[in-house]
Structure 1
Amino acid sequence: MQSIKQTLERFKIVRLIVSIYRLRAVRALVPLVIIALVYLEGQHELKQVHLGLIIQELKRVPAEAIAQMMGVALLSVAVMSAYDYLIRRHFRLDIGRWSTFRFSWIANSFNNLIGFAGLAGVGLRTLLYRKSGVPAAVLAPAIVFLSPLMITGLSLFSWGNIFGLLPAAALLREHKWLVFAVWGMALYLPFFIILQRSSLFAKWVNRGQGRTPWLTVAASVGASFLEWLFAGITFWTIGSHLLGGVEFVAVFSIYVIAAIAGTLSMAPGGIGAFDLIALLGLTQLGYPSDKAMAVLVVYRLFYYLVPWLIGLALAALEIGLQGKKGSDRTSAGIEPSLNVWQKIWGWPGQYTFLSDLGVWALGKLVFVSGLLLLLSAATPELVYRLRLTEDLLSLPVMRISHHLSVLTGFMLILLSRGISLRVRRAYIWTSVLLSGGAVFTFTKGFDYEEALFLLLVALILWISRARFYRISVPVSRQNTAWWLVLTSFIALVYYLLGSYVHHGFLKHLPRGVEPEWLQRHSNVSVTAAGGLVLSWLLLTMLVTLRPHRKADGLFADRDMERLTRFLGENPGNPLTHMLFLGDKSFYWAQGGKVLFAFARARDKLVVLGDPLGPRSLINEGISEFRQTADLYGLAVVFYQATPAYLPLYHEQGYRFFKLGEEAAVPLADFTLSGKKNSDLRNVKSRFEREEYLFEVTAAPHPAALLDELHGISEEWLSGRSEKGYSLGWFKPSYLQLAPLALLRGKDGAVLAFASIAPGYDGGDTVSIDLMRHRKNAPNGTMDYLFVRLLEWAKEQGAGRFNLGNAPLSSVGRNSGALREEKLAHLVFVRGGHWYGFAGLRRYKEKFNPEWEPRYLAYPAVLTLSILTLDLVRLVSRHPEAKEDQL
């Protein structure tokens, strides 16, 4: 019966975890289901698509047509700024017209490509408008107002399908499930109008200023109408160039149906559903599958990818920090000078750091640059460009340039992570490779478009050069494995693409070109493997010689003599004595007046307890330590932080998680009298009656005694490994630094012992440290040892006796607690099978202690679940093991 009860309780814990992710899983399944449904409907058309013929169609498009298609696509994205101008006017946002346009372009281009049911656009608009000083009370209703109106234009066009103004009867007749999608989208428009005119909407969104005016409702629908109209015009323009003369109404009708399917799928950019429905519609009009797919590829490129790259560039150059000090280096006391671009734009808040989105965008631009080089190398250049390049350069130069382009592409992909992490050397190498890649693309086949793009990315990097301040970052095994898999997959795609295109184009090449083509592309497998291996070899050399070795020396200070002198002038805390274990490094801030004792856990420096030193210098000391750690991509975490220092951590932008509570007995009030302490009195009387001997021996201790205690420790461990970091372990040199409490039997043999840790606060606090006993020790042994220790400390004039921490005690009990803390509470209550959390709390309650909470203080950019695993690994790591050098 008891086992069944334990099983049910464990199930509750698992159910809580599952409930957190259940909704996300359901949302993720919706796009997959719709894409699978559309795929089943369009299997026949997909089988007719040939990649080689698609690329051939794309290569034949003249430059004037490309310019026209590109212009219409960029105009279509620009038209979407009507949304932002609408909320700017309706909510009287105090931002300029040009800033509104820039914000709109960034948000809409990201939302088009990434999507996630509009969440990408919502998040970026929130970030951008808050950056410009728009109050949250104004911004939240504006975002809520904007979100539902974006598909009203598509809903309006759905009515056009229903009433026959946009005929798509053949498509709807063959795929009947699309009828329900069209009607569902059409009914959204009246629902939207009713919602806009409702009193509830007026109260919560219009901020009590009355119902939404009819003019604003019409403007909302009109803005959405323009978005979808111009997107459809873009699709038709591309189709007219690639398919020949096409009727606008027929193609636009197909576009509307495809857009409805893509929107309902909630997939990023409607990818999959939109493309397959559009492919089905165009093939129904009699166009070949290869040409129809070419239309879709160009549409994706010009309407989604190119505007997104422009948005990436704008985000990389312009987006500033959004008020979270913990996510940037402002809190670490770093304030770089303005770069030229920031001064030109003159943004409000320009004196703060650029956000992580900016460097993330730069990293993705570099990643795209690497992919572009590989795509260019895997596909053939235009015949006239090959002939022109061969006239200007020799064939060996073209061949070498081709191989160097592949190598440069792989290197840029690998270095893109270093760009996102703001590493200075990654910026230097990337700048060189981008410039070299531009030369190689030019000399291998006169690909000036790609060369200009690479030079543009290099220019953006140069403008943003002030952001690359880090000396190095940790390189973990997990990240290395992930990037190895990713680059290997890219190399495989490069090989398959190059081989497929090579065979598909071979019969289409004019005479006189075939020898060069065969010589340059027949060994595509060698090029792919060689580029991958050489890029990883160069990266390995960079990592091996990386200046991160400087961090190992910088954080390797374990000067015990300096620590002793420091504690002679500054007070410590109950955890201070553990610094003499030798497993923690020291960082001396503020000219050596503030001490941080920490251990390394992957990319985190975990400080044990609060910093030591004058309170007035602690805040600046934390900033200094964080700044130094950030130069090497390391985050500073405070483990077992006390409530007294929480305001300082809060100013630094830290978040908190309650680890448990620490028990301290006020010795002035300690007594064994009274009914409540009868059990302890009985234990003491029994051990004294049986002539057990308690004594406290001062250091230094005889070697024979330490050998005897070592045998007790090994017996107590029973083959288990010692814990470390925040727990003491049996180390003779460490035990020689403080008194030892011994409990001997009648024969004089030691049955149990405990090491005593001074509080380094003038003798006011005494702490229990290492506790061990023999297996055959009688019941109540540790109770008696604790009672005698408390009496001894009281006799020595100490004010408090620290019994140590009770993990997860009083965590997550309130209904408003965080999910993670509620989960921790369940573990505390029901986790006795793995660790006696509740039992440890009850045991320490015997001595009537006062409880004080202890916290984990961590930067907001860290994920609590991953941080928890790192801390468990840190505490569980063998004390004598060398720290991770990842």
Structure 2
Amino acid sequence: MALGALILFRGVYFLLPLTLATLLLVGHELHRATDTPVGRAAARLSPVLLAILVFIAGIWLLASGVTPTTIETTDILALHVPLSLVEIAHMLGGLTGLTLLIVARGLLHRLDAAWWAALILTFLAAVLALPKGIAWTEATGLVILGTLLWVFRAEFGRHSTLRSQTLEPEWLVAIGLVVAAMIWLLFLSYRDITYRHDLWWQFAFDAHVSRSLRATSVVAVVAGGIGLWQLFRPAGRAALPPTTEKLALAADITHRQDSAEACLVLMGDKSLLFSIDETAFIMYGQSGRSWIALGDPVGDPSRAPNLVWRFVETASAHGGRAVFYQVTPAALPWYLDAGLRAFKLGEAAHIPLTDFGLEGPQRAPLRHAYNRARREGLSLEILPPGSVGAVIETLRVISDTWLANQRVREKGYSLGTFDPAYLERLPVAIVRRDGQIIAFANVLRTGMQREVRIDLMRALPDAPPSTMDFLLIELMRHYQAEGMARFGL
């Protein structure tokens, strides 16, 4: 007895601090290693690898819960550990294993809540491995896994809750197969023992089959309950047009952005997905199974990666597929991290306004068109937002005539449509000849001095050929004088 107490004293006061210090040192060195090229590559892959390792750890815990310990281990537990602690460790070990199977999905999607859950459960399972069966190998493996989770903490920055995640049918099937394998392993491990009803109520150190039966039953019941809850929980509402309040919030966020294309949200024909703190949003539409977001997330850039993930998951939860249309090269890492692939469909043209002018031989065609339009009596007027109502019917006639002459119809989504409410929210440029309006274009711009672009451009059939050239040149010269950086085409 005195020898056992002395060994325990030495372990607690000497070996335990030494082990913890060693683990902290190893974790610190591994964390420093992530600054190297190889370390950065490992960091990018860490969510997938850690999700796999955590899933394997869950399988390991479930398997160890239905296999008997050795006679020597049972004797040691009987001498030094209370039976109640052995029973509790066995039951909690099985539930921890099941929870790790679920948490692995959150790690795959970089959820910070999943990281915290995996870290806590991993070290908890490592502690439970000792009273459960003095499983030093299991405890060591779990401690190593917990250390890896700690090292790659920075890769799990998506703020979300585990309760909000939806387990895909494939994930539910995988968990179901693991639980089924656990039940099969239970019967295989105790195939020499005849089943009796009283096995359920036997509590003894050598009652391995009883503990395994109880743990397996609880795990199976909990897993079945989670599966039914996931299958029958409301999927949430499908995409709906924004309310007046949400559209006003989106307009306020857009006003503080550099990209003028974000003004297309003012059309009100696209659904909106806001970040949790409502400082950023994604505008999107649906076509068949495709949920198509227009452009990059608008708003606080720090909220964009999580918003991309939420959009992908929301589309998947409704049986759809997420698509992002007209994104910028700088934002590609957000979409690649979410498991999407990039396809180049075209390019966007921008004209720097800082050095724009009509001088020089290369600009001669533009200069001639502009001078010809001036000789024909064309003039440009820019109506500020909210003042287009006085000429809206004239603009409607021009728009309808242009559509009929071009034999096209309104497109919408990534292009504006002739909607008086939409035109009232933005500046509108009109071209007059002898006082009569012959062409117009609405202007997309935010409150920043970064970019301006045009959306609708429509003219009467009998307008001079140089009308549109004149309109574009005058707009560029006007916004150049205002200090705008570039003009989007």
Check the 8 A contact 1:594/1:612 in 2, yes or no. yes
Which residue in the other structure is 2:7 paired with? none
Check the 8 A contact 1:555/1:587 in 2, yes or no. no
Which residue in the other structure is 2:432 paired with? 744
C-alpha deviation, 1:579, in angstroms: 0.7
**Distance (Å, rounded) in 2 between the aligned partners of 1:332 and 1:633:** 21
**Distance (Å, rounded) in 1 between the aligned partners of 2:110 and 2:228:** 17
Query: How has the CA–CA distance of structure 1 residues 566 and 132 changed in structure 2, closer, same or farther, with 3 Å as cutoff?
Result: closer
Question: What are the equivalent positions in structure 2 for 1:690-729 lying under 5 Å apart?
Answer: 690-718=376-404, 720-729=408-417
Of 756, 763, 777, the match for 2:449: 763
**Distance (Å, rounded) in 2 between the aligned partners of 1:335 and 1:624:** 15
Query: How has the CA–CA distance of structure 1 residues 781 and 702 changed in structure 2, closer, same or farther, with 3 Å as cutoff?
Result: closer
C-alpha deviation, 1:329, in angstroms: 6.2
Query: How has the CA–CA distance of structure 1 residues 587 and 685 changed in structure 2, closer, same or farther, with 3 Å as cutoff?
Result: same
1:560 and 2:339 aligned: no
Find the structure with the greater CA-based Rg: 1
Q: Which amino acid aligns with 2:423?
A: L
Of 322, 326, 330, the match for 2:109: 330
Check the 8 A contact 1:585/1:598 in 2, yes or no. yes
Query: How has the CA–CA distance of structure 1 residues 800 and 461 changed in structure 2, closer, same or farther, with 3 Å as cutoff?
Result: farther
Residue 648 of structure 1 aligns to a residue whose secondary structure is: helix
**Distance (Å, rounded) in 1 between the aligned partners of 2:430 and 2:168:** 57
Which residue in the other structure is 1:660 paired with? 346
Query: How has the CA–CA distance of structure 1 residues 703 and 567 changed in structure 2, closer, same or farther, with 3 Å as cutoff?
Result: closer
C-alpha deviation, 1:660, in angstroms: 1.4
Considering fraction of residues, name the structure with more helix: 1
Query: How has the CA–CA distance of structure 1 residues 355 and 766 changed in structure 2, closer, same or farther, with 3 Å as cutoff?
Result: closer
Per-residue CA distance 1:49-94 (angstroms, 9 max, x = gap): xxxxxxxxxxxxxxxxxxxxxxxxxxxxxxxxxxxxxxxxxxxxxx
Of 420, 435, 443, the match for 1:732: 420
Q: Which amino acid aligns with 2:427?
A: P
Query: How has the CA–CA distance of structure 1 residues 469 and 578 changed in structure 2, closer, same or farther, with 3 Å as cutoff?
Result: farther
Query: How has the CA–CA distance of structure 1 residues 357 and 691 changed in structure 2, closer, same or farther, with 3 Å as cutoff?
Result: same
Which residue in the other structure is 1:578 paired with? 264
Which residue in the other structure is 1:158 paired with? none
C-alpha deviation, 1:131, in angstroms: 5.5
Check the 8 A contact 2:440/2:457 in 1, yes or no. yes
**Distance (Å, rounded) in 2 between the aligned partners of 1:328 and 1:355:** 14
Q: TM-score, normalised by structure 1?
A: 0.32
C-alpha deviation, 1:669, in angstroms: 1.5
Which residue in the other structure is 1:780 paired with? 466
Which residue in the other structure is 1:671 paired with? 357
Of 754, 758, 763, the match for 2:441: 754
C-alpha deviation, 1:576, in angstroms: 1.4
Which residue in the other structure is 2:481 paired with? 795
Query: How has the CA–CA distance of structure 1 residues 554 and 706 changed in structure 2, closer, same or farther, with 3 Å as cutoff?
Result: closer
Question: What are the equivalent positions in structure 2 for 1:36-47 lying under 5 Å apart?
Answer: none
Query: How has the CA–CA distance of structure 1 residues 720 and 798 changed in structure 2, closer, same or farther, with 3 Å as cutoff?
Result: same
**Distance (Å, rounded) in 2 between the aligned partners of 1:636 and 1:764:** 29
Query: How has the CA–CA distance of structure 1 residues 726 and 772 changed in structure 2, closer, same or farther, with 3 Å as cutoff?
Result: same
**Distance (Å, rounded) in 1 between the aligned partners of 2:445 and 2:302:** 25
Question: What are the equivalent positions in structure 2 for 1:84-483 lying under 5 Å apart?
Answer: 330-331=109-110, 335=114, 359=172, 463=223, 466=226, 470=230
Which residue in the other structure is 2:19 paired with? none
Query: How has the CA–CA distance of structure 1 residues 580 and 555 changed in structure 2, closer, same or farther, with 3 Å as cutoff?
Result: closer
Q: Percent identity?
A: 30
Greater displacement, 354-363 / 719-728: 354-363
**Distance (Å, rounded) in 1 between the aligned partners of 2:458 and 2:221:** 59
**Distance (Å, rounded) in 1 between the aligned partners of 2:453 and 2:111:** 34
Which residue in the other structure is 1:65 paired with? none
Q: Which amino acid aligns with 1:757?
A: L
Per-residue CA distance 1:7-52 (angstroms, 9 max, x = gap): xxxxxxxxxxxxxxxxxxxxxxxxxxxxxxxxxxxxxxxxxxxxxx
**Distance (Å, rounded) in 2 between the aligned partners of 1:664 and 1:468:** 53
**Distance (Å, rounded) in 1 between the aligned partners of 2:296 and 2:229:** 28
Check the 8 A contact 2:312/2:338 in 1, yes or no. no
Check the 8 A contact 1:362/1:461 in 2, yes or no. no
Q: Which amino acid aligns with 1:664?
A: H
**Distance (Å, rounded) in 2 between the aligned partners of 1:661 and 1:653:** 23
Which residue in the other structure is 2:279 paired with? 593
C-alpha deviation, 1:646, in angstroms: 1.6
Query: How has the CA–CA distance of structure 1 residues 695 and 560 changed in structure 2, closer, same or farther, with 3 Å as cutoff?
Result: same
Per-residue CA distance 1:542-573 (angstroms, 9 max, x = gap): xxxx945x4148875452322343345x4252
Q: TM-score, normalised by structure 2?
A: 0.55
Question: What are the equivalent positions in structure 2 for 1:59-74 lying under 5 Å apart?
Answer: none
Which residue in the other structure is 1:622 paired with? 308
Check the 8 A contact 1:557/1:586 in 2, yes or no. no
Query: How has the CA–CA distance of structure 1 residues 556 and 601 changed in structure 2, closer, same or farther, with 3 Å as cutoff?
Result: farther
Of 630, 639, 648, the match for 2:334: 648
Q: Which amino acid aligns with 1:656?
A: A
Q: How many residues align?
A: 319
Check the 8 A contact 1:764/1:800 in 2, yes or no. yes
**Distance (Å, rounded) in 1 between the aligned partners of 2:357 and 2:253:** 36
Q: Which amino acid aligns with 2:280?
A: V
Residue 782 of structure 1 aligns to a residue whose secondary structure is: helix
Which residue in the other structure is 2:369 paired with? 683
Query: How has the CA–CA distance of structure 1 residues 610 and 132 changed in structure 2, closer, same or farther, with 3 Å as cutoff?
Result: closer
Q: Which amino acid aligns with 2:433?
A: G
1:612 and 2:298 aligned: yes
C-alpha deviation, 1:729, in angstroms: 0.7
Residue 770 of structure 1 aligns to a residue whose secondary structure is: strand
**Distance (Å, rounded) in 2 between the aligned partners of 1:643 and 1:720:** 32
Check the 8 A contact 1:755/1:768 in 2, yes or no. yes
**Distance (Å, rounded) in 1 between the aligned partners of 2:250 and 2:53:** 48
Residue 346 of structure 2 aligns to a residue whose secondary structure is: strand
Query: How has the CA–CA distance of structure 1 residues 553 and 789 changed in structure 2, closer, same or farther, with 3 Å as cutoff?
Result: closer
**Distance (Å, rounded) in 1 between the aligned partners of 2:308 and 2:227:** 22
**Distance (Å, rounded) in 2 between the aligned partners of 1:333 and 1:695:** 53
CA RMSD of aligned residues (A): 4.4
Q: Which amino acid aligns with 1:751?
A: I
Which residue in the other structure is 2:187 paired with? none
**Distance (Å, rounded) in 1 between the aligned partners of 2:242 and 2:429:** 33
Structure 2 residue ranges without an equivalent (≥5) = 1-47, 55-97, 130-137, 150-155, 157-164, 178-218
Check the 8 A contact 1:332/1:627 in 2, yes or no. no
C-alpha deviation, 1:638, in angstroms: 2.2
Query: How has the CA–CA distance of structure 1 residues 330 and 764 changed in structure 2, closer, same or farther, with 3 Å as cutoff?
Result: closer
**Distance (Å, rounded) in 2 between the aligned partners of 1:653 and 1:800:** 33
Per-residue CA distance 1:364-388 (angstroms, 9 max, x = gap): 9xxxxxxxxxxxxxxxxxxxxxxxx
Check the 8 A contact 1:665/1:802 in 2, yes or no. yes
